[in-house]
Structure 1
Amino acid sequence: MASDVIRDWFSHTADLIVEHVDEQEGRVRIYFLSSMADNKVVYTKVLPELRQLDLQNATISEVENRLGVPASQRISRQEQVINQLLKGAIYIHVSGAPYGLAIPASGVATRNLQRPEIETNVLGPQVAFVEDLDMNLSIIRKYLASPQLFHEQLWVGKSVPQEVAILYMEGTANPEHVQTIRQRIQDLEVDGLVEVNILAQYIADNEITVFPTLLQTERPDRVSSALRKGQVAILMQGSPFVLLGPTALIHFFESPDDYYFRWSIATFNRVLRVSAMIASLLFTPLYVAALTFHYEMIPADLLLSLAQSRARVPFPPLFEALMMEIIIELLREAGARLPTKVGQTIGIVGGIVIGQASVQAGFTSNILIIIVALGALSSFIAPSYVIGSTIRVIRFPIILMAGLLGLIGIMMAVSFLISHLLRLTSLGRPYLSPLYPVRLIDWKNSFIRAPFAFLAKRLEFFQNGKPYRYNKQRARQIHNFDEDE
């Protein structure tokens, strides 16, 4: 690649540095971006080593041998040179040589490994991904030190190319799923992407639905577990999250803690999460429907208490419920956007003060405050933040239907929701599996978490190439230590 091409391509930027190793001839040159590469590598290692050569007659092979950098790459195409410079590499050009050398010397500061902030857990590893793709790949390699872990590199974006990595276990992942993800990423026509969650919206089976069809996670242990199951992982440079697919709705209510606890505790937690999702959707709509149309459903003692609680409330139940739900959402959004300590104070103090003041002023009843609080609490119990937000959004149209048509409106809204979920897919796989189509064998590691001895067979949802994870009979054997031996 001609040196003038590099200058022309980066003529608009002031951080392109060109060093002439042989100052008189200018035969050997070093190119790097001062904002991306580590200057110490250039001036304390590369330049002193090159100046030990006979630069007037040195070949590119001699330069390569003199530097002795194992990670150096031979590149000759223009796009390769540009990509390497933008990644923080040093490019060495020798006039007349058929190729140049790219030496990694990234000097960009990266965030150190920290505890997960969004997907917290009680047991298990306490580490989360960062924004550096190579570091994230190394973390996954430490969890899955196997030659069967395949890594494919793709580029997304025309104006701002961004590196994307596809990871999967060869022989375990379904080749159709891998090909689907690969093809959808390659077919993207975008200027550039900032984050992997934006990529998820582009390659999703349905872009209109409010439900996420690819699972986002910041936990390496969850990614390694998903890869062993047969899922495909998508990573992107600059993103601390990883996409997993294909994904069913029930997977958003699974937590890595389910495998660190005993199976009975894990099963209880999963059932609790699913029940909390249903309760979050229906608590407030049932309150609105009962007080608006169906007084006869309320027991007499409870009806008297409700009448006393609503004696001073001038608004109909529908308006009252929507007002409180919107207030809860405002407090949640304010707590998420403010600094951590201030956000926690706003969430706690704001909820108590506004709730108590609303009851005393006669804007709402005590019972509705309890119901709305339970609904909001139930939506936060989901391990995935995205599915929790989805549940909170869906609750509003169900409340509206309850206020307009009562229980009939709730049934219509729920029926529409179920029909929508039945049509959803994730990489072509049914989103409601194992409920539809019915796969009872997948229940042992979806709605419940059976003991490990019963999890020898992989889930049919992923259609793995290897149906069994380990020998089922040997896993059930109990190996006791004989003290007499």
Structure 2
Amino acid sequence: MFSIIKRLFKSKPKINESYVTATTSFHFVAELPQMHTQFQETFRMFPDFVSRELVVKKVTYGVFYLSNLVDSDLLIEEILNRLLEIEDVPSPEKLVNLIPIGQRLLDDNWYPLQQRILQGWTYIHISGYPYGILANTAKRRERALTKPENESQILGPQIAFTENMETNVALIHQYLPNPDLCEIALIKGENTTQTNIRIVYLSNRADLEMVTHIYNSIEALQLEAILDATILAQWLEDNPSSFFPQMITTERVDRAIFPLLEGKVVITVSGSPHVIICPNTFFDFFKSIEDYYFRWATGLFFRNLRIVGIAISLFATATYVAALTYHYEIIPQALLVPLAQSRARVPFPPIVEALIMEMIIQLLSEAGARLPSKVGQTMGIVGGIVIGQAAVQAGFTSNILIIIVALSALSSFTTPVFGMANAIRIIRFPIILSAGIMGGLGIAVSVALLILHLLRQSSLGQPYFYPPYTIEDKNKRDGLIRVPYQLIPKRSVFANTGENTLKGNKDIDE
């Protein structure tokens, strides 16, 4: 007994602090042996760190890099071979011109140098000089361009963004070879991820005061790490407590091009295969880029079909609960008898029955999403059939509720933006509770509260619940109604008014 207690409270062995604590004191000196010692001390926890001395015509060079991060072919061809070809004694200033991928390092700021080495750069030090040069020898790790996996469609370009930000920006430039296409570069997470961010917009179309607002919003963020564009999108939301998303993230290149032409802004994040589109209105989340590839009548039909699907997803189950609890008179007589017979064996009140079945549907959906694709599809289909049939036979629920819940689940997936579809799935539950407590009045109160909530929202300072269509202003026709191309406005409500003077953009210029 005492031996067990002694083992439980036995002190853990301590690791030598010198092997854990990073070196912060680093001084650039002219003597190469001292630089070699400091580098070895600083990168002692990196087994792949390489420090080499290269003597060429009585000139000693120090080369420092991480072997698993550098492109060995680039290191040999562009650095080592060029050093061997040098005939006279170079200075760092001359060496920059001899090595095309080199950048001069003139100050003794150690931290940026350390960050560059950790990103795959190589530091070259010439004996006798208290500074050296940096060369970008990072190994490019990126996948090839592929089709969009999560936003598939029949018509239009089949190219998706990748995790490489330079590739993503190049794709945008490929579609828009326009001198008005501007970029603003930022870096967030300076102490950890060193995430590069680009704000992309068309200067002759975007409202430049809006661009300034977006730039200032990102610049004001105090973030240690940004791993994906979806994280940055949540930080940029004006109302983070709202269920409704205010930013659209997409992996499709063409879906990012159309908003740029409308005067919106696209934000790219290094390491993320998605880009952020902003600002947005509530109705932008129900537009699919494929609507513009179909003829206007087809696009109009599918766009409004999604709106009907949203209404079914939000209110179908709630209407069932309200009708069975308070409003039997609204049920047709031909349907009333079969409905009563199917509920004769159900031991739960309608609100409990509906909430249980909705939760089961959500569990099946989540399980199918987390399993491998082929297994997940089989799980969703077979699981839904088996559980639904068993629940009806056991008297756990009625046949009609199974149909309504399944229809609500299918309708929620008609939304093109996945974030909005998730919001609708969540909001459905409080509406069902309101219907079970107050009946039809509860549904009406829920609708009123939703509209009031949407009216109070904003997207980067712009109105979120902007009217989708107004007759007075012809520039706002492309809302819920898909009209022929001859009537579609060239710019959205967020575009500039023709005055391209940049007011208040002093922060960007600096």
Fold match (TM-score > 0.5): yes
Of 7, 19, 28 in structure 2, the residue corresponding to residue 2 of structure 1 is 28
Unaligned runs of 5+ in 1: 469-485
Distance 1:98 1:260, change over 3 A: farther
Distance 2:391 2:298 in 1: 39
Distance 2:168 2:119 in 1: 16
Residue 464 of structure 1 deviates from its aligned partner by 1.8
Do the aligned partners of 1:430 and 1:436 also contact (CA within 8 Å) in 2? no
2:422 aligned with 1:392, yes or no? no
Give 1:302's aligned residue: 335
TM-score, normalised by the number of residues in structure 1: 0.89
Residue 459 of structure 1 deviates from its aligned partner by 2.1
Give 1:280's aligned residue: 313
Do the aligned partners of 2:195 and 2:226 also contact (CA within 8 Å) in 1? yes
Give 1:331's aligned residue: 364
2:107 aligned with 1:74, yes or no? no
Of 145, 153, 156 in structure 2, the residue corresponding to residue 121 of structure 1 is 153
Please tell me the residue identity of whatever aligns with 1:446: G
2:434 aligned with 1:382, yes or no? no
Distance 1:274 1:148, change over 3 A: same
| RMSD, aligned α-carbons | 2.4
Give CA deviations for 1:109-156 in whole Å, capped at 9, x if unaligned: 222211111111111111111111111111111111112111111111
Residue 443 of structure 1 deviates from its aligned partner by 4.8
Helix, strand or coil: the match of 2:450? Answer: helix
Residue 312 of structure 1 deviates from its aligned partner by 1.4
Of 169, 186, 204 in structure 2, the residue corresponding to residue 154 of structure 1 is 186
2:95 aligned with 1:63, yes or no? yes
Distance 1:178 1:146 in 2: 18
Helix, strand or coil: the match of 1:51? Answer: helix
Deviates more, 1:346-355 or 1:87-96: 87-96
Residue 15 of structure 1 deviates from its aligned partner by 3.0
Residue 7 of structure 1 deviates from its aligned partner by 5.5
TM-score, normalised by the number of residues in structure 2: 0.85
Do the aligned partners of 2:478 and 2:489 also contact (CA within 8 Å) in 1? no
Give 2:474's aligned residue: 441
Give CA deviations for 1:367-417 in whole Å, capped at 9, x if unaligned: 111111111111001111111011000000000111111011111111111
Give 1:239's aligned residue: 272
Do the aligned partners of 1:215 and 1:247 also contact (CA within 8 Å) in 2? yes
Distance 1:153 1:11 in 2: 33
Distance 1:439 1:9, change over 3 A: farther
Do the aligned partners of 2:314 and 2:408 also contact (CA within 8 Å) in 1? yes
Deviates more, 1:241-250 or 1:33-42: 33-42
Give 1:366's aligned residue: 399
Distance 1:76 1:344, change over 3 A: farther
**Pairs aligned (count):** 464
Helix, strand or coil: the match of 2:215? Answer: helix
Q: Aligned ranges for residues 68-147 of structure 1 at < 5 Å? A: 69=100, 72-76=102-106, 78=109, 79-95=111-127, 100-147=132-179
Give 1:210's aligned residue: 243
Residue 61 of structure 1 deviates from its aligned partner by 4.2
Distance 1:23 1:2, change over 3 A: farther
- Larger Rg: 1 or 2? 2
Give 2:439's aligned residue: 406
Residue 13 of structure 1 deviates from its aligned partner by 2.7
Do the aligned partners of 1:458 and 1:467 also contact (CA within 8 Å) in 2? no
Helix, strand or coil: the match of 2:177? Answer: coil
Do the aligned partners of 1:118 and 1:385 also contact (CA within 8 Å) in 2? no
Please tell me the residue identity of whatever aligns with 2:28: A
Do the aligned partners of 1:277 and 1:378 also contact (CA within 8 Å) in 2? yes
Residue 14 of structure 1 deviates from its aligned partner by 3.0
Give 1:418's aligned residue: 451
Do the aligned partners of 2:164 and 2:270 also contact (CA within 8 Å) in 1? yes
Distance 1:350 1:194 in 2: 35
2:299 aligned with 1:266, yes or no? yes
Please tell me the residue identity of whatever aligns with 1:91: Y
Do the aligned partners of 1:121 and 1:256 also contact (CA within 8 Å) in 2? no
Distance 1:444 1:301, change over 3 A: same
Residue 358 of structure 1 deviates from its aligned partner by 0.7
Distance 1:402 1:200 in 2: 33
Give 1:471's aligned residue: none
**% of aligned pairs identical?**
43
Distance 1:83 1:229 in 2: 38
Distance 1:178 1:41, change over 3 A: same
Do the aligned partners of 2:102 and 2:136 also contact (CA within 8 Å) in 1? yes
Do the aligned partners of 1:29 and 1:94 also contact (CA within 8 Å) in 2? yes
Distance 1:442 1:422 in 2: 21
Helix, strand or coil: the match of 2:268? Answer: strand
Please tell me the residue identity of whatever aligns with 1:464: N
